Amino acid sequence: MRTFALVIFGCQMNVYDADRLRTELVARGWKETSPEDAALVLFVTCSIRGKAEQKVLSMLGRFQKDRGFEEGPFMAIIGCMAQRLGEELLRRFPGVCLVAGPRHLGKVAAGVEQALASGERILFLDEDPRGLEDLSQPPLCRPNPWKAFITIAHGCDNFCTYCIVPYVRGRFQSREPEKILEEARILIDQGVREITLLGQNVNSYGTDRDDGWSFSRLLRECAALPGLGRLRFATNHPKDLSPEVVAAMAEGAPVICPSLNLPIQSGSDRVLQKMNRGYSVESYASTVSLLRGAIPHVGITSDLIVGFPGEREEDFQASLQALERFRFDLVHSAAYSPRPGTGAASMEEQLPREEIFRRLHELNELQRQISLEISRKYVGTVQEILLDGRAPRGEGLFQGRTPTDKVVLLQASEELLGQFLQVRILSGEHWCLRGEML
Ligand code: SAM
Ligand code: SF4
């Protein structure tokens, strides 16, 4: 029996790619097992920060040392890091039989079979940033039966100066709307209750097409699919989030969830400009007002980078002020990490790491307090959650999410998984709520 395991790093797009790859391998007669037992381990990798890459490299090294490589297990490295490091991975890890960039996903399953049969080592690099060898089937084999992702656009053309994504994921390319809708229909028929549409900048959907499709139209058409309980999307670019999308969200309730991620990245206009973000703090504020005016109680999360080259103390203070002003539900904060080949990596005034981490710590403390205050406002309210799994922490507890995307931990039972439940919120912590079923 040919056995495989998937080890997934990074973003939701990687989870989607891994779900489709699993579906394809199973259809070809492979069986999924644990990385300890598998004959082939596929690593779906991330390059967004140096730390993400180091994690993968040390895991590959450890894995190869523990299990040897002459007779397997064989390893395949897929995704952003595969694209960035290419041949170097083949050189460093003799157990690697295939390295494939994110735009070669469709060739991975046949590629590993060929590599294992012939003993050759295969390298599929995305030399053409517009080329695409995609997988065509929906992600039918998923760990979570009730929730699924659908990528609606590949790549990114924004070239924010800190970001490696346009270099490793290639040019922006919207998928065919009919294919997206068909994939959603198949997933709903399979029992999926919640779909999340994915792209590096979903708001640009359709801008590379000339047939009138836009993200707001896609949202409306997906939300109208019979049987879909919830629709979410990630992620948005503040410069492109249009009033039409906000209107589609407001009119599409309750299927379109009142929550979104709107990465601000910095609270300083000077830094935003150096990041090539294309908006100012005031234009960002107008978008937030538009959202909060149209969708009361909308949950907004954000991303923020600390220690971008040349970030002065006053720029950092402006980021802290932005957190106070916008009061995000949650912030994915990150210490700036220079990525080879990006504009910011060669900028002067790179900050010392200790200073970056001091700022990060201060920012996280402030946000923790804000998140806690927001969570506590839920206490006593009744929320509808989709019960989607066992809680990773907390004995015997299950978890689900509110429409605003807050995690709720509660006592429940296996038969209720995949159902929408009414829950009274009993307490709020900075990262989750605790509740009881009504
Ligand atoms: N497309 C999204 C946007 O425009 O905000 C972001 C996608 S990126 C995959 C996810 C997050 O990683 C970013 O929002 C940013 O905060 C963080 N990130 C990207 N490059 C980074 C870097 N070089 N150092 C630290 N964080 C980084
Ligand atoms: Fe990276 Fe900017 Fe594209 Fe987001 S929009 S993926 S941060 S280049």
Q: Per residue of the chain (438 residues), what is the pLDDT tens digit?
A: 799 999 999 999 999 999 999 999 999 999 999 998 899 999 999 999 999 999 999 999 888 887 776 666 789 999 999 999 999 999 999 999 999 999 999 999 999 999 999 989 999 998 889 999 999 889 999 999 999 999 999 999 999 999 999 999 999 999 999 999 999 999 999 999 999 999 999 999 999 999 999 999 999 999 999 999 999 999 999 999 999 999 999 999 999 999 999 999 999 999 999 999 999 999 999 999 999 999 989 999 999 999 999 999 999 999 999 999 999 999 999 999 999 999 999 999 999 999 999 999 999 999 999 999 999 999 999 999 999 999 987 778 999 999 999 999 999 999 999 999 999 999 999 999 999 999
Residue 210 Cα to ligand 1 midpoint, Å, equals: 29
Q: Which atom of ligand 2 is nearest to the CA of 235?
A: 4
pTM of structure: 0.96
| Token pair 């220690």: residue | 307
d(CA 159, CA 172): 11
- For residue 157, the ligand 2 atom closest to its alpha carbon is 3
Taking the CB of residue 213, how many other CB atoms lie within 10 A of it?
A: 18
Query: In whole angstroms, how far apart are CA 44 and each of 119, 296, 436?
Result: 22, 38, 37
C-alpha 21/C-alpha 105 separation (Å) is 8
Tell whether ligand 1 has an atom less than 6 A from the beta carbon of residue 162. yes
184: CA distance to ligand 1 center in Å?
Answer: 27
Token pair in block for residue 435: 């509740």
Q: CA–CA separation, 202 vs 151, rounded Å?
A: 9
Do 332 and 409 meet the contact criterion of CB atoms below 8 Å apart?
A: no
Among protein residues, the one whose CA lies closest to atom 6 of ligand 1: 200
Which residue has a Cα nearest atom 2 of ligand 1? Answer: 200
User: Which own/partner pairs from 212-217 qualify as long-range (CB within 8 Å, at least 24 positions apart)?
Assistant: 213/174, 213/177, 214/242, 214/244, 215/242, 215/245, 216/242, 216/244, 216/245, 216/247, 216/248, 217/177
Q: How many CA atoms lie within 13 A of 74 on its CB side?
A: 21
Residue 356, amino acid: I
Look-up of token digits 């390059």? 47
Closest atom of ligand 2 relative to the 201 alpha carbon? 5
Could you count the other beta carbons within 10 Å of the beta carbon of residue 229?
Answer: 19
From the CA of 126, how far away is ligand 2's center (Å)? Answer: 19
> What is the number of the ligand 2 atom nearest to the C-alpha of 265?
7
